[in-house]
Amino acid sequence: MTAITQSSQVAAAPDKVRGLPGHATVGTNDLDAASVFYDKLLAVFGIGRVLVQPNRAIYYGHRTLEFGIIKPFDGRPATVGNGGMIAFEAPSRSKVDEAHATALAAGGSDEGAPGPRGENGTGPYCAYFRDPEGNKFLIFRSGAGAA
């Protein structure tokens, strides 16, 4: 196996269909409270609810399932995955800033203020936060994004 010594980030072409993921979910122990948080956060991107399974799950997306909050199927408490993170791509750096601020105002916690990452600040523009239950998120803009 070859070690990876250098990484590069390439912005996807806007008209290119991505292969994965189909959708991502995080577990919740309080579906009502989680829905308040995600309704506010995902509205920043113009994303709303597309499927509600009462007392079980709420899924969000533009036209189809893209992200969901669910109560674990096995009935045990939802827990945060160590090393797990979900990344949302933003259409601009200003949306990265807005999403981060919205997450914090809605009860999330800061894991990294918005700003350029990488050597000499030449990498993607990123912000990190955790939702109220501790799930970690990245909001990013790669490439030559609008301000």
What pLDDT digit, counting tens, does each position of 49-95 carry? Answer: 999 999 999 999 998 889 999 999 899 999 988 788 999 999 999 99
Q: What is the pLDDT of residue 141?
A: 93
- Indicate whether 147 pLDDT > 80: no
Q: What is the pLDDT of residue 3?
A: 39
Query: Which amino acid, residue 59?
Result: Y
Q: What is the pLDDT of residue 145?
A: 59
Q: What is the pLDDT of residue 11?
A: 44
Q: What is the pTM of this model?
A: 0.79
Strands (E), the chain: 24-27, 48-53, 57-61, 67-70, 86-89, 109-116, 125-130, 136-141
More confident residue, 11 or 93: 93
Tokens of 97: 């800033």
Domains and CATH numbers, the chain: 24-75+84-141 (3.10.180.10)
CA-to-CA distance for 12 and 83, rounded, in angstroms?
25
Q: What is the pLDDT of residue 23?
A: 87
Over range 27-51, report the average pLDDT. 96
